[in-house]
Structure 1
């Protein structure tokens, strides 16, 4: 690996370029090294010289993959709690796992060295694709590199605003206790006993690393962000609801983040030789904000293609029918047609946990999808389906009617940089 810092140098010429050096690019680099890709000139363009422990992901899947040795914790049992019920779920044969970003970045750095990657410490600007090569310029307009293929993981809003535009926004405290207070064998996946917003859904969750250290988080699905003081108040309330004594706890780290929840389309391949990854490439599940598993799949598919000499184009992150189901669910929640805690509680109450989790990962059959649909209340979902169909028809007749919409900047405080939500 060599690093290019001088911006007055001639443009670098490579076969494959990655713009952005976060989670999506790091997973791709590790997968390329794991598949023993050789004789491919690779460059990474990222303004951050070295990334540290800046985010946390959590996801579900089967044990026995390349991520096992990097995990901070994993659980085969989780709880989903509503005001009326507590569901203790056995996830077998799946597991819920937590992964901090530091090990992912370290593995990517090692992969860069093995692959002989050129790292360019700069912010990429415009991207021009002539169908044969892709030219990347700096934000000032100077030529930076030319590549046969470009993988772009920079965050961006959808191609157009959706019919529903919500956000998943959150704050989490990494709590260290002076005595054992957490159950390291069980995570709380969703706890809907939190006060519910006037428009939206809120929940807390607990991801214990051991009996004295855990991530405790407050999350909302809603159209608007809160103030920093409001997130702290909600977290303090949830901590008290859990029966945790603040005098015996230390807040070791703080995490914040914002993830789009929208049925607006993300274009995964805007030009012939540019491929978008991560949220920009459709990896975020609109109804939940989950992203990491789809990013991991994208990385594996890209690496397999490059190793076989094929174009590095991953499959769609989720089936079209799941995106339609997400759009209907978002409309039902946005319109107040369903109660959020009851809606999610019924999914886990009336389906095996593994089916719900595989559904949220886009990995269920049509028959399983129908079973998931049957677990929701019929009348409000039919109403949402009809309204969604009418909205799609209006979009066809007047495609420019949508106002401009962009994802607001993440909530950032002095204790910690922005992170992706655990579970995402």
Structure 2
């Protein structure tokens, strides 16, 4: 910055994590040129600090960056295991290092300015947004701000859970993993008193895989609790700990709530990622919606339009998520049974597209018809009553975002390396 005052830009990305990295790459891919762009974040993201797992069709944008992909996945409940053919979709793993590296290259080609600072305020006067540091200093002024910093919903949800997890990157001394298939959900894990848990396995090779324990529940476990659950799941898989080395440990927390996330808090501020509603309330999956947001922003700017993406999920899906969360929270629907029925009574690709929010109304009705009718009807009535009560009472502030919140879905995680 010069002594004349804060720099003026056309577009400022506040936050430099996954959502911003995908957006920078999309701006470069769609050849958005001639815009003055700034990225504001106290650190520059690099290296393997998180992993995303998602499904979709082959994608020229992401395919060169993938660590692994699978056409078949297993879903296991205490009643048995089901091997699912995902065609025409596939399940994929993306680690953060290539995403950050590509974003850095895009940032350079775009001629973006990098400002290493935390941001305390975004003052929007309707024509420009002043981005301010914690001491009140104006860092820059922007025509548009894309804000991807984690934040709580605008008000507390009627149901507020967390998706929280720990994963071990395991290196085996001999071949023990099947690299041709992933374990999407394995519900043989010990179930919490209130909530649902499952394990999953994402193999990169026959000797290297991410093995993870995940809970959907209102409260976090202790560190020892996650380790015990992971050790138990490792034993369920029949893996000998004497033949395994933990190379990395991954931890994360993602909100699962029907509380509203405001995607456009002021005329020229647009939120992306979890803060912009990209997290699916009933599952915590985020990456696919975050990727869609980035592409929509870039396409809009390339066409000279405001960088405002479409809602991450249809309104009817947000309503269905609220009902499902309520039923799970009340315990009238069991998590393993809920997901088992979805995959047993629908084509796998329909279930996955439903979880991504891309199904049609007819497909949504088909999916709804495979759940247990009586408890879901009771949850629907309870949700309607709760909505009415909420309108009559003052809004309750949402709790703060947990410190380990991420912008990914299962395997959308914060990683702590243990091998240097």
**Normalising by the residue count of structure 1, what TM-score does the alignment of the two structures yield?**
0.95
The answer to whether residue 223 in structure 2 is matched with residue 236 in structure 1 is no
1: CA distance between counterparts of 2:384 and 2:397? 20
The answer to whether residue 115 in structure 2 is matched with residue 134 in structure 1 is no
2: CA distance between counterparts of 1:421 and 1:320? 20
Q: Which runs of 5+ in 1 are unaligned?
A: 412-417
1: CA distance between counterparts of 2:253 and 2:187? 19
2: CA distance between counterparts of 1:11 and 1:114? 23
The 3 A distance-change label for structure 1 pair 161 and 287 is: same
CA contact (8 A) 1:169 1:259 kept: yes
Question: Which residue in 2 is equivalent to 1:286?
Answer: 281
Match of 2:255 among 244, 251, 260: 260
Question: Which residue in 2 is equivalent to 1:388?
Answer: 383
CA contact (8 A) 1:204 1:219 kept: yes
Q: 1:233, CA displacement in angstroms?
A: 0.4
CA contact (8 A) 2:47 2:97 kept: yes
* 1:2-401 → structure 2 map (5 Å cutoff): 10-400=5-395
Q: 1:124, CA displacement in angstroms?
A: 1.0
Deviations 1:316-352 (A, max 9, x none): 0000000000000000000011111001110000000
2: CA distance between counterparts of 1:258 and 1:404? 16
Question: Which residue in 2 is equivalent to 1:407?
Answer: 401
- Counterpart of 2:190 in 1: which secondary structure? coil
The 3 A distance-change label for structure 1 pair 299 and 403 is: closer
The 3 A distance-change label for structure 1 pair 307 and 275 is: same
2: CA distance between counterparts of 1:355 and 1:249? 36
CA contact (8 A) 1:181 1:211 kept: yes
- Counterpart of 2:182 in 1: which secondary structure? strand
- Counterpart of 2:97 in 1: which secondary structure? helix
1: CA distance between counterparts of 2:88 and 2:59? 11
Q: Which runs of 5+ in 2 are unaligned?
A: 413-420
- Counterpart of 1:98 in 2: which secondary structure? strand
CA contact (8 A) 1:54 1:419 kept: no
Q: 1:397, CA displacement in angstroms?
A: 1.3
